[in-house]
Structure 1
């Protein structure tokens, strides 16, 4: 379908709102969101008013003398994005109805329920609990999680199953925080399963958060961690009040799991909840991609003028790149402090039991553990392949 300066363009109904730097444009039929600069939004609004393309191009060149204006190319891009409904009265067949995204689940949760957990007063409580948890750890270093905290029983299978069950429950609570937060704004959410590094995770689709003001989005991104701070605080309190209780071992696993996941949230080489907060606060929505381009330039012979490429985001991207590298070291820190010692302890114990160091029950426990490990690896490979296909 050819587009010319004489073409009459009909767009799908679009919702436009001002963001940090540019504008967020929503196409309600598909539920897609796009970040566009002011000149693009100006062009869209003029197209909606029925102004001719030649006239629009002339006006834009006058209003934006520093910009390169090509209205035909711009409209062709809108067609590719699926934002154009008709060109010269001819329907643009993009399968919009087939591409349309469902409104999402959890609409059965009333908005007022979400607001019980996420409002101005309660949000401050979550922040206070974060400070309190840090303070408790400083005063009680013995509460700092240890890699052996997951080994409650002689049975390695039981240890792994207990840890996985506790971790699964905490993941569900974390994601339910996101769900309640977005429902507090009467918006839908979708829940899916995926993996991050070696962890199987549930992921809440917060795409609809783009409808909100940038400041309100941060609450949605931090909602899961907010719920974790409540659980962490209660765990610390019970551990201090009842240090010899039988359930302290379970609480130690909870503390360990939340600690590891909290540290991972600060690994900016992954798109974690904290990463999205930083991205949202800066208004730079391709921060990771730009940072990776900048860092990769140090390993290439040909040097590009990245300062010119990134323009006003140059200093921000350099700062982010530092935190990107820190995130890699945080991962190495967790690996050395927790994962390697845990794996060494587990497989050393399993090896000794298979070689006959333990009784018959310990031998079959070791065999069951190896089968359990194989099933987990198969699941991780499946999820990784599924994610690659989707990408």
Structure 2
């Protein structure tokens, strides 16, 4: 249907709330959320009153003389977003996908509030400071690349590390779930992938119903639970240094895994929990896309990832600052590769090839074969994921 300045729209019921700089618009039927500046909200309110687009355009041009007002273009955008129910009395044929999220609603909000409240949130911050202090005062507890090698068998080391990492991922995601349940909102736990690795992901879309300060609690919830795990692991290592070697090795893996994941959280070229905190605190909700677009002047390959992102007025300084941290995140990843992953790979494969060529026992030989076999499988999956992408 052609939209003209005489067209009158009927919109779906919308919930509009002021955010840090702009407004968050929720379409309750589909559960979709959109960020819009004040002029758009003003236009929507006039549309609700039944004014034709041309009349709205004239009034907005007088009220916002420095803005480029085009109500036909705005109407097309509303239509594309699925917010228009009727145009000039004719119903739109677009089918609305009703999204009813009810994940983990069996968890009482009181349970979430036990773990995430004004006092508990401060305790988690104290735990972080205590953990840092314990490692500074006891440098031997600082994660080392050999921490994951607690057995002679490389396959057993890999399996143990993967299982511990999986348990810690579940604990991390359960922190997000309990935090959002503390506000009596639903969450869903899905499974995604990072290259060839399977990961769990908590959908916190419903968090857009909350104030920015409340959303920050949700973003840090997973890391908060991790700090509790680190404190327990460090405490046992300090209090019981003569404990079972395998137990101490497992606790060392816990500290190592969370340390690596915390560094990853600071890699802002990925949408990590800390990235979402920065985005939420600044109110720049397209920070990564705008940052890539800014950096694409010098790194053209980022242009395709940035898409057609546009920043609102006043966001340019924040985008430029984020671009610096984007590069820092890449350098952090390279540091992890240099100081942890490459030494781990060298240590593991030197042991494997030694057992393959000069093994003293059949068990060591077949362990080396199994380790090389899983390496071939992982490389195959990596190539497959790249070709599929």
Classify the TM-score, shorter chain. Answer: over 0.9
Residues 81-133 of structure 1 deviation map (CA, whole Å, 9 limit, x = unaligned): 1000111222212221xx33331411111111111111111000001001111
Note the 1:196-235 alignment, pairs <5 A.
Answer: 196=194, 199-235=197-233
Picking from 333, 336, 346, the partner of 1:334 is 336
- In the alignment, structure 1 segments of 5+ residues that lack a partner are 301-307
Matched position secondary structure for 2:78: helix
Matched position secondary structure for 2:33: strand
Picking from 156, 166, 169, the partner of 1:168 is 166
Aligned residue in 2 for 1:131? 129
- In the alignment, structure 2 segments of 5+ residues that lack a partner are 301-309
Cα distance in 1 for partners of 2:325, 2:104 equals 35
Q: Please report how far the alpha carbon of residue 54 of structure 1 lies from its aligned counterpart in structure 2 after TM superposition.
A: 2.5
Picking from 153, 156, 162, the partner of 2:154 is 156
Change (3 A) 1:309 1:233: closer
Aligned residue in 1 for 2:48? 48
Matched position secondary structure for 1:298: coil
Aligned residue in 1 for 2:304? none
Note the 1:364-375 alignment, pairs <5 A.
Answer: 364-375=366-377
Residues 265-311 of structure 1 deviation map (CA, whole Å, 9 limit, x = unaligned): 001111100000001000111111121222221256xxxxxxx9775
Instruction: Choose 261-270 or 48-57, whichever is displaced more.
Output: 48-57
Aligned residue in 2 for 1:304? none
Q: Does 1:282 align with 2:282?
A: yes
Aligned residue in 2 for 1:144? 142
Matched position secondary structure for 2:94: coil
Cα distance in 1 for partners of 2:170, 2:387 equals 23
Task: Provide TM-score, normalisation by structure 2.
Answer: 0.92
Aligned residue in 2 for 1:59? 59
Aligned residue in 2 for 1:305? none
Q: Please report how far the alpha carbon of residue 5 of structure 1 lies from its aligned counterpart in structure 2 after TM superposition.
A: 2.3
Cα distance in 2 for partners of 1:172, 1:234 equals 17
Q: Is the 8 A contact 2:9 2:84 kept in 1?
A: yes
Cα distance in 1 for partners of 2:156, 2:146 equals 14
Aligned residue in 1 for 2:360? 358
Picking from 335, 340, 346, the partner of 1:344 is 346
Aligned residue in 1 for 2:270? 270
Q: Is the 8 A contact 1:194 1:383 kept in 2?
A: no
Q: Is the 8 A contact 2:287 2:322 kept in 1?
A: yes
CA RMSD of aligned residues (A): 1.9
Q: Is the 8 A contact 2:196 2:385 kept in 1?
A: no
Cα distance in 1 for partners of 2:105, 2:138 equals 43
Note the 1:243-322 alignment, pairs <5 A.
Answer: 243-246=241-244, 247-299=247-299, 311-322=313-324
Change (3 A) 1:385 1:30: farther
Cα distance in 2 for partners of 1:182, 1:382 equals 36
Cα distance in 2 for partners of 1:219, 1:191 equals 18
Matched position secondary structure for 1:355: helix
Task: Provide TM-score, normalisation by structure 1.
Answer: 0.92
Cα distance in 2 for partners of 1:225, 1:185 equals 19
Picking from 169, 181, 189, the partner of 2:179 is 181
Cα distance in 2 for partners of 1:191, 1:161 equals 24
Change (3 A) 1:204 1:299: closer
Aligned residue in 2 for 1:303? none
Q: Please report how far the alpha carbon of residue 53 of structure 1 lies from its aligned counterpart in structure 2 after TM superposition.
A: 2.2
